[in-house]
């Protein structure tokens, strides 16, 4: 099953490599990983998407908790949560009718065009990972020049929060 593990960790040099090293050393897979400081600059928030059986996820969370720099973590997939990913995508717009077609798609998916040249659009799109996947599929006629995805960020619904 897919799990979203949210981690609060000390904002120390090397903290990220401890997490990445743990996953490679123990053979767990990482689907995506994002990390940035929080409003408290001594803390980083990491969001890690992984897959595995219940036993593997249990080991992953225990092993992550064992890392000295990890302050707290939660498996968001265990409760109601919201996830978002941001994508920047650059497409070619030179075919006949391409510009209108792409514009329509961007509107349907509620994205923004954030840069334009005579031959390209750069689109910004935010949503669940599967929405971004769907947009890429829908674009199939317009040649994609470049995609950049941020990886998943997620937060629990309601008043619950992950903090020290």
Partner 1 sequence: MKLTGAEILTRFLADEGVEYVFGYPGGAVLHIYDALHRQDRLKHILVRHEQAATHAADGYARSTGKPGVVLVTSGPGATNVVTGIATAYMDSIPMVVITGQVPTSLIGNDAFQEVDSVGITRPCVKHNFLVKDVDDLAMTLKKAFYIATTGRPGPVVVDIPKDVTANVADYKYPRQIEMRSYNPVVKGHPGQIKRAVKMMTSARRPMIYSGGGVILDDASKALTELGHLLGCPVTNTTMGLGGFPASDRQFVGLLGMHGTYEANMAISNCDVMIAIGARFDDRVTGNIEKFAPKAKIIHVDIDPASISKNVKVDVPIVGGVNNVLKAMLKQLKAEGFKPDEEVLGKWWAQIEKWRAKDCLKYDASGDRIKPQHAVDLLHKITKGDAFVTSDVGQHQMWAAQYYGFDKPRRWINSGGLGTMGFGLPAAMGVQLAHPKAQVACITGEGSIQMNIQELSTCLQYDLPIKIVCLNNGYLGMVRQWQEFFYDNRYAHSYMDSLPDFVKLAEAYGHVGIQVDKPADVEGAIKEAFKQKDRLVFLNILTDPTENVYPMVPAGAGLDEMILI
The footprint of partner 1 (CB under 8 A) covers: 9-10, 13-14, 17-18, 21, 25, 55, 58-59, 62-63, 65-66, 68-71, 164
Q: In the bound complex, what is the minimum distance in angstroms from residue 7's beta carbon to partner 1?
A: 11
Residue 20 pairs with which residues in a beta bridge? none
Q: Which residues of 77-111 are buried (b: 16+ CB within 10 A; e: fewer)?
A: beeebebebbbebebebeeeebbeebeebbeebeb
Q: In the bound complex, what is the minimum distance in angstroms from residue 62's beta carbon to partner 1?
A: 4
Q: In the bound complex, what is the minimum distance in angstroms from residue 48's beta carbon to partner 1?
A: 17
How far apart (Å, rounded) are the C-alpha atoms in residues 5 and 75? 4
Helix, strand, coil % in the chain, rounded to nearest 5:
30, 40, 30
Q: Which is nearer to partner 1, 50 or 93 (CB)?
A: 50
How far apart (Å, rounded) are the C-alpha atoms in residues 108 and 25? 43
Q: Which is nearer to partner 1, 72 or 104 (CB)?
A: 72
Q: Which is nearer to partner 1, 2 or 163 (CB)?
A: 163
Q: Which is nearer to partner 1, 13 or 159 (CB)?
A: 13
């Amino acid at each position: 099953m897919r799990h979203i593990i949210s981690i609060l960790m000390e904002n120390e040099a090397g903290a990220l490599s401890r997490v990445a090293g743990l996953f490679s050393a123990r053979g767990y897979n990482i689907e995506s990983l994002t990390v940035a400081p929080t409003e408290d600059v001594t803390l980083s928030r990491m969001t890690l998407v992984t897959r595995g059986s219940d036993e593997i996820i249990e080991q992953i969370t225990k092993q992550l908790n064992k890392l000295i720099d990890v302050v707290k973590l939660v498996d968001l997939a265990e409760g109601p949560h919201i996830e978002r990913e941001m994508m920047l995508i650059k497409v070619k717009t030179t075919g006949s009718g391409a510009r209108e077609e792409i514009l329509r798609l961007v509107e349907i998916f509620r994205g923004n065009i954030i840069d334009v040249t005579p031959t390209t659009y750069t689109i910004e799109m935010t949503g669940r990972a599967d929405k971004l996947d769907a947009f890429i599929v829908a674009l199939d006629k317009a040649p994609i020049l470049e995609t950049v995805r941020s990886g998943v960020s997620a937060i629990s619904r309601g008043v619950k929060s992950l903090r020290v």
